Amino acid sequence: MLIKISVENFKSFDKKEELSMLSSSKIQANKSHRLKIKQTNLLKNAVVYGANASGKSNLVTTIAFIKTVLMEGFPVNSVNDFCRNKKENKDRESVFELQFTVDDKFYAYGFSAILNQRKITEEWLYELMQDGSAHNLFIRDGNHAPVLGEGVNPTTAEKNRFAVYSEDFAGHDTQLFLTEMNRGKKYTANSKLLFFVQTFNWIMNNIIVINPSIGISNTDAYYSAESLESISRLIQTFDTGVSEIKTKVITLEEMGKMIPAEVLSGIFVHLKKQMQMTNLPQIQMTWRIDDGFFNIRIKENSEPEITTLVLKHGKSIFDFNFSEESDGTKRLFDLIDMLMTKRQDTVFIVDELERSLHPKLTEHFLKLFMKAHEGARMQLIFTTHEDTIMDQELFRRDEIWFIERDADNASKIYSLDRFKERYDKKLSKAYLEGRYGAIPVFRQFTFRKEE
């Protein structure tokens, strides 16, 4: 489970900002919204509010950026991703860190970089202990060879192998060492270096980022008749008019007619990189791109298997293509896997969850999500403008967060829990009245009249 996200000098974030999933011991409401791992209580939800251009999407982008750098290295346009509200930030380190659990172990992984040069300056992985201490697992400083922590204690063979990997990697200041230790490396089941695989796999596979225009998932939901029937019944509860969902096989050429060539190429580049990193004989992904919805499965030395959705409405005998559905219905298909998934220990990060959805649909979805994953290691972090769900019956105070810009135009993150509110307080009304900040501040504008 995710414990904390922290970021510094990236996009609209200047100084270090963080969002924590640690629960407040003072709040006793909605106890089912937290899970205890060892002695630590972690929240299952975080809802983030803020005005347009406050930096909400940049928080989601931070997570996506960490995953991208781990998988592909620095994107070309990342040279301008430092916080550009100050000249000195161009040559200042940007810092990214995730704290999370894998099984019942607590980790902190992060790296710092000069983004304008696309150069890594430091990278680290620690195991966090319940007494507040931290055990270093590895650290790399600039161009120097990465070093194992003193308490790792690998076997002699593992130590020698790591020494070779480390020396070969020295000088590679544009790549992450955690990525390198998952590139074609093999580990035994009881290896002392297995934390390299466990932490990398958790970040890459257990954090699912969904933005408003592209939904990506590695779900199995669209590959069996039984799950398609369940999705059909589930989608009916949202009153969209859709009564049944099926899939049909299409060719690569047919898919190419539905989406731009550069997007199609990017999808398969992404899938091939995933296969290379995971060393799996096959990989499958579900992509929602504008008006297209595709399930793609790739096996070694085989042509890709591609299916798309066919929908039925009410008692109509005619089929409807995904492109013919309303924006709200399409948006639900971005989110439906979040309700269906059986994967354990998954964190969904969603930008603008309510986009194109009626407020009642948004509330219905959230209640279904909480019910479907009650007691499970499943988290949902999302940004929104939807004030109707800012309700203490739906969310705890420590699950509600705000982002706003300060006088220097930098984004600040803070929790509702810092405000001392009664449990019967109408939060949405207080928010719109400006009590918690993070709302638009308008200036006067005078229209000139023709003489």
- Report the alpha-carbon distance of residue 330 to residue 322 in Å, rounded: 7
pLDDT tens figures, 224-239 = 889 999 999 999 999 9
Encode 404-438: b = buried (16+ Cβ within 10 Å), e = exposed. Answer: bbeeeebbbbbbbbebeeeeeeebeeebeeeebbb
Average pLDDT value over all residues in the chain: 89
Average pLDDT over residues 387-406: 90
User: Which residues in 118-212 belong to E strands, given as ranges?
Assistant: 119-128, 134-141, 147-148, 207-210
Average pLDDT over residues 282-287: 82
- With a pLDDT cut of 70, the percent of the chain lying above it is 90
Kind of pairing between the strands at 378-384 and 45-49: parallel
Judged against a pLDDT cut of 50, whether residue 344 lies above it is answered with: yes
Q: For the chain, how far is it from start to end, CA to CA, in angstroms?
A: 65
Which pLDDT score is estimated for 215?
57
8 A C-beta contact, residue 44 and residue 366: no
Nearest residue to 149 (alpha-carbon basis) of 159, 139, 162: 139
As a 3-state breakdown, the chain gives helix, strand, coil percent values, each rounded to 5, of 35, 30, 35
* Assigned token pair, 312: 């039925």
Burial group, residue 328, by CB count within 10 angstroms (0-12, 13-18, 19+): middle
Judged against a pLDDT cut of 50, whether residue 359 lies above it is answered with: yes
Rg (CA), the chain: 23
Which pLDDT score is estimated for 214?
59
Which pLDDT score is estimated for 393?
86
Report residue 275's pLDDT band, with 50, 70 and 90 as the boundaries.
Answer: confident
Partners of 247 in beta bridges: 309
Residues 6+ apart with CB under 8 A from 198: 102, 103
pLDDT tens figures, 194-253 = 999 999 999 999 999 988 655 566 777 888 889 999 999 999 999 999 999 999 999 999
Judged against a pLDDT cut of 70, whether residue 445 lies above it is answered with: no
Number of helices (H), then strands (E), belonging to the chain: the values are 10, 21
Q: Could you give the 3-state DSSP secondary structure of residue 225? A: helix
Partners of 19 in beta bridges: 5
Average pLDDT over residues 288-301: 84
Which pLDDT score is estimated for 424?
46
Residue carrying the six token digits 């009410």: 314
Nearest residue to 60 (alpha-carbon basis) of 278, 199, 212: 212
Provide φ and ψ at 10, rounded to 5°: -145, 130
* Assigned token pair, 354: 């309510």
Q: Which residue has the higher pLDDT, 58 or 433?
A: 58
Residues 6+ apart with CB under 8 A from 424: none
∠ at Cα 141 (138, 144), nearest 5°? 100
Which pLDDT score is estimated for 408?
92
Q: Which residue has the higher pLDDT, 441 or 183?
A: 183
Which pLDDT score is estimated for 399?
95
Average pLDDT over residues 15-28: 92
Q: DSSP letter at 376?
A: S
Residues 6+ apart with CB under 8 A from 156: none
Average pLDDT over residues 271-277: 76
- Report the alpha-carbon distance of residue 302 to residue 275 in Å, rounded: 13
Which pLDDT score is estimated for 279?
67
Which pLDDT score is estimated for 387?
87
Judged against a pLDDT cut of 80, whether residue 441 lies above it is answered with: no
Which pLDDT score is estimated for 289?
80
Q: Which residue has the higher pLDDT, 390 or 348?
A: 348
- With a pLDDT cut of 90, the percent of the chain lying above it is 65
Per mean pLDDT, which range of 95-99, 151-155, 163-167, 326-330 is the poorest? 326-330
Provide φ and ψ at 353, rounded to 5°: -55, -35
Partners of 119 in beta bridges: 114
Q: Could you give the 3-state DSSP secondary structure of residue 294? A: strand
Which pLDDT score is estimated for 443?
60
Average pLDDT over residues 108-128: 97
Per mean pLDDT, which range of 32-46, 58-72, 423-437 is the poorest? 423-437
